[in-house]
Amino acid sequence: MKSSKKMFVLTEAVLAVMVAITAIGMLWGQNEEKKGKVSVIVNDSDADRWAAFKYGLRMAAQDEEIALFIVNMGEGLTAEEEKEAFKATSDSLIEIFRKELGNDKLDVKIEKLKDEKVASMITLSEQNRRMQEMMKMYGMGNMGGMDMGGESTLILNANHPLVKFVVENKENENVSIICKQLYDLAMLAHKPLNPEEMTAFVQRSNEVMMLLTK
C-alpha cells in the first residue's frame, strides 16, 4: 500500500513538472505578435500542493502580458468507480445498522437524498400505509408499538454527516447510539413508540446531550 502511494505521489510530481515546463514554455516561447491567452489544465488545482506552481505561472503570465486560465479537472472517480464505491458504502451501512438494531432481516436502503438535512426516513408498504390510515380514521392512531416487520424500509441518506460518520467510524463507541436514534427518529414520523421503546429513546437522547457537554 505504501509503495503504491509513493508511486502515485511520484507520478503526480513528474506530471506537475511536465505541465509547468510546457506551460512556461508556451508563455515565454510566443513572440510579440502571437501573445494572447493560455489555458493550463491542472488536476485538483484547488489543492494546497499546487499553490507555488500556480503562483509561478501567474507571475510568468503577468511578465509576458498573457491572459492565463487555470482549469481544475478535479479528482473525480469514473462512473464505474463511483458505482463500486457507493455499493461498498451501502453494504457496509446495511451490515452496521442490522447489527446495532439487532435485526438481520431489517430492510435498509441507502440513497443520496437532495435534502442533506434528512438523515433517515421510513417508507411503508402500500398495505401498511392503508392500515395506518384506517387506524387513524377509527381513532386508533395513538396505538404505539405496532410491529411493521418487513413492511417498512429504513432509508439512509448517504449525504448526511451522521450517516457518513457511521460508515467511516465503525468501531466508534457512539455508532450504536447514532444508529438507534436515527431509526427511532425515522419511525416516530409514522407511529408512537411503545413504552419500552420510548424509555430507551429518552435514555439515549439524554446520553447524546451529555456528549455535548464533554
50 close to 17: Cβ distance less than 8 angstroms = no
Q: What is the pTM of this model?
A: 0.56
Least confident among 16-20, 102-106, 168-172:
16-20
Please check the confidence at residue 168 and state whether its pLDDT lies above 60.
yes
119 close to 74: Cβ distance less than 8 angstroms = no
145 pLDDT tier (thresholds 50, 70, 90): very low
100 close to 175: Cβ distance less than 8 angstroms = yes
Predicted confidence at residue 118, as pLDDT, reads 93
Predicted confidence at residue 120, as pLDDT, reads 95
Predicted confidence at residue 150, as pLDDT, reads 46
Distance between CA 208 and CA 131 in Å, rounded? Answer: 34
Predicted confidence at residue 137, as pLDDT, reads 60
Helix (H) or strand (E) holding 123: strand 120-124
Q: How far is CA 118 from CA 122, 129, 158, 209, in A?
A: 11, 21, 10, 20
The angle, 0 to 180 degrees and rounded to 10, between the axes of the packed helices 175-188 and 161-168 is 140
DSSP states of 21-90: HHHHHHHHHS-GGG--EEEEEETTTTSGGGHHHHHHHHHHHHHTT-EEEEEE---PPPHHHHHHHHHHHH
3 pLDDT tier (thresholds 50, 70, 90): low
Please check the confidence at residue 171 and state whether its pLDDT lies above 60.
yes
75 pLDDT tier (thresholds 50, 70, 90): low
Domains and CATH numbers, the chain: 2-72 (no CATH), 79-207 (1.20.120.790)
3-state secondary structure of 192: coil
User: Partners of 153 in the beta sheet?
Assistant: 123
In one-letter notation, the amino acid at residue 174 is N
How does pLDDT run across 82-133, given as a tens digit for each residue? Answer: 888 889 899 999 999 999 999 999 999 999 998 889 999 998 766 555 665 6
Please check the confidence at residue 43 and state whether its pLDDT lies above 90.
no
Query: Which three cell numbers, joined as nine digits, stand for 96?
Result: 452496521
Q: State mean pLDDT over 67-90.
A: 72
123 close to 89: Cβ distance less than 8 angstroms = no
Please check the confidence at residue 61 and state whether its pLDDT lies above 70.
yes
Give, rounded to a whole angstrom, the gap between the first and last alpha carbons of the chain: 37
3-state secondary structure of 117: coil
